[in-house]
Structure 1
């Protein structure tokens, strides 16, 4: 790509980000029953607004598009940590290799004091713990086409009333097609699901979603590479028809110069930025999400080591 061409592309993308940041779109991420049980993976995708399904070229594919595991060449272990909203801790660990990957995460509140009606400490406290495990797989059908999916298990626990512990599961099929400079991915989240079932036999359904994304990659020169990504996410109704009035966009852009990466994005609720430093087999990723709704900004750090 000529320098003027990629400069125009970057300028256009940044203009779109600024325009979308001033508008409200999509759904509230935390209004769905399973939202706090699954906050995503990896700082790199977060830094690009969560847009990753059409690229999925590293260990984060386990979560974002497991079909892409069929194209992985190395075995990698990944960890993440992210303070959420100033009072929750979110972390996880996983691994991925060609064809298969496993990832787990947990959200923990720590001890929270229970005050009386006057705000005084009662000596009673509680804590909240939730998380999920993901098993993903992907198998190439052709040199540029791979099918896959992931199975997820959810749990939640509140120490005040363990009889109300919740459990659930879901299965998400996925597909990805990759060319020399582009990628196209599709995944149906919660295509099969048992919902979330609590101790009182109360049941909450997990929302089915269609997610599709495209990526474009170009080498500006020998050491510099540009990735531009766009995902669209829409809820599916009972007959698997998408509600296009509730589409959530995820946009991302990433620039690599040797072992240093910088990125920015938009996820329908927040502007995001991120960076990476890669030294031989080790990569450190960082991301920041700045919410428009007044929520505390969220940082995420992840570490990947490849064998």
Structure 2
């Protein structure tokens, strides 16, 4: 964390140093002639109510207008069915804002944000109606006609999570202005950085970088802005019962092209995830100071959420009151623990007076798993355990690209639910079984199903923090265990699955013994010239003692009670002293024999771990 914080501070200071030089140069070249002044008007009623101090918080769709890195960390707190702190994330967030500005001018904005794992995309558009004025001739007489002006700004943004706590983002815009049928176009970009830690967030952004707007003979610079901000969720220091309420304070330093830096401060209190009260102050500005705001959250919270925000910002200089209204609709929920540290992690609550349940007592309540699975569009199915040692067995349908084993972003919400279930049993052993349909050869499908099950295991370890020591080696069954006919598209879809088996706490040696040899691979060993023959089984394998035979040199391993998934196989090798490996399954004796043909006598060592046995041949 210290290294991430150091990197974030260096990048933020570099951004501000570069911004200071850029603004100084621009001010010297053309002081006071920045164009696109409508870009200075704040977006978002929530943000305006907090005094526009939003660079460090940046946790909703309007982040692209303050700090584009924030959209990759979006999420709202809630408690799950077990009472644990969770962050509700959404597949989509739609925003709309209406701002009745001075006189007959108004500002409108629509936006859409789509988080995708470590990435997030955003689309937006600003329309600023500058009203109209009556035209007059050179003598000052009314002509009977009027001239209007408006500005339109479409934008596209992208953000990426560099690490658990650090994200970056960029937003690009096209500027279009029309004044009395005279038009000008230009381009601008924002870049942002956000460091998101457990008890505070710090961010920096550079805004409106890009080309100038030119009307006739006049060319104006974009109103460059450099921001730095911090947000501190105060209720992150108290107990979990306060999770449905939040109190966050924020502060920004803003450095504009007119060379007048100033501070914004703000705060937001959310009560019971229903009502928000906000306040802020913009210091050292000519026309704005105190701001107030409120928000209401509606919806069933499991399928969608509607947020309505209002902001009041009086302009004392011109004796007018500014009113903003924003609507935010979030839908397509991704409910689960965040793959990084939560946005506002709360410390554990004090132990309740009631006795703490043991893990076995927790696992005796299967409705907790049912609550997590919920209505999951058939991607997770709870099936009956096949032995007394199993706690739960899940069929998980993960779609992969053709002939690939990489986890697709649209499958991550399903795996997040699997991770949430696995965390209910942190001391249990886990077995992953991969299955395919019947398209392709049997041998190839066994390898493909093994690679896909392994990919699921690696994803759960990396993103859901499931301990690697809890996993048995994945098993690939290929097409050998269908649950539906492969003659129909629906049947093939059902057969393409990964089965997750969670054993009862303390069960490891009692996991079902191996009855089938699934795969044999020949590979180079860690020592120069050494060779490893790795054998993967469908359950726990007991150590076996190989024996050697001379003339020609051979090494033989018998596996009693185990049959191979294939009747026989020969694997050629050019590694070390191993010429080939022959695997023969003997159904009449209910055993499998593995024979290594060697070029010379060699020393060997047998290692067994869970459901994998490795025979090491030394040079």
The question of a shared fold, defined as TM-score above 0.5 by the shorter chain, is answered with yes
Q: What SS is found at the alignment partner of 2:234?
A: strand
Of 211-220 and 32-41, more deviation after overlay is shown by 32-41
Q: What SS is found at the alignment partner of 2:320?
A: coil
Counterpart selection for 2:110 from 68, 93, 96? 93
Q: What SS is found at the alignment partner of 2:46?
A: helix
1:257 aligns with 2:271: yes
- Matched-pair contact (CA < 8 Å) for 1:37–1:132: no
- Matched-pair contact (CA < 8 Å) for 1:37–1:107: no
The correspondence of residues 226-245 of structure 1 with structure 2, limited to 5 A, is: 226-235=247-256
CA distance in 1, matches of 2:143, 2:221: 36
With over 3 angstroms needed to count, the CA separation of the structure-2 counterparts of 1:121 and 1:190, relative to structure 1, is: closer
Find the counterpart in structure 2 of residue 179 from structure 1.
Answer: 197
- Matched-pair contact (CA < 8 Å) for 1:65–1:175: yes
Name the one with the larger strand percent: 1
1:70 aligns with 2:77: no
TM-score of the superposed pair, with normalisation by structure 2: 0.41
- Matched-pair contact (CA < 8 Å) for 1:218–1:225: yes
Counterpart selection for 2:281 from 257, 266, 275? 266
Q: What SS is found at the alignment partner of 2:211?
A: strand
Which consecutive residues of structure 2, in runs of 5 or more, have no partner in the other structure? 1-31, 75-88, 300-304, 332-619
Could you give the per-residue CA deviations for residues 85-118 of structure 1, whole angstroms, max 9, x where no partner exists? 1211211111112111111111114443335689
Report the number of matched residues: 266
CA distance in 1, matches of 2:142, 2:166: 59
Could you give the per-residue CA deviations for residues 57-110 of structure 1, whole angstroms, max 9, x where no partner exists? 111112111111222332111111111112112111111121111111111144
Could you give the per-residue CA deviations for residues 150-191 of structure 1, whole angstroms, max 9, x where no partner exists? 1122111123xx2x3121111221100011221101011234
1:287 aligns with 2:301: no
CA distance in 2, matches of 1:101, 1:55: 17
CA distance in 2, matches of 1:132, 1:53: 21
CA distance in 1, matches of 2:256, 2:123: 26
CA displacement at 1:146 relative to structure 2: 0.3
CA distance in 2, matches of 1:265, 1:292: 16
CA displacement at 1:40 relative to structure 2: 2.8
- Relative contact order, higher structure (CA 8 A, sep 6+): 1
Counterpart selection for 1:278 from 297, 312, 337? 297
With over 3 angstroms needed to count, the CA separation of the structure-2 counterparts of 1:228 and 1:110, relative to structure 1, is: same
Q: What SS is found at the alignment partner of 1:85?
A: coil
CA distance in 2, matches of 1:228, 1:128: 38
CA distance in 2, matches of 1:150, 1:295: 35
CA displacement at 1:223 relative to structure 2: 3.1
Counterpart selection for 1:50 from 44, 49, 52? 52
1:136 aligns with 2:157: yes
Find the counterpart in structure 2 of residue 300 from structure 1.
Answer: 324
With over 3 angstroms needed to count, the CA separation of the structure-2 counterparts of 1:236 and 1:165, relative to structure 1, is: closer
Cα RMSD over matched residues?
2.2
TM-score of the superposed pair, with normalisation by structure 1: 0.80
- Matched-pair contact (CA < 8 Å) for 1:38–1:131: no
Which consecutive residues of structure 1, in runs of 5 or more, have no partner in the other structure? 1-29, 238-242
CA distance in 2, matches of 1:234, 1:40: 15
CA distance in 2, matches of 1:110, 1:86: 8
Find the counterpart in structure 2 of residue 122 from structure 1.
Answer: 143
CA distance in 2, matches of 1:47, 1:125: 35
- Matched-pair contact (CA < 8 Å) for 1:37–1:155: no
CA displacement at 1:300 relative to structure 2: 0.4
Find the counterpart in structure 1 of residue 428 from structure 2.
Answer: none
Structure of higher CA gyration radius: 2
1:169 aligns with 2:173: no
Could you give the per-residue CA deviations for residues 177-223 of structure 1, whole angstroms, max 9, x where no partner exists? 011221101011234x111123x253211243321000000326243
CA distance in 2, matches of 1:250, 1:228: 11
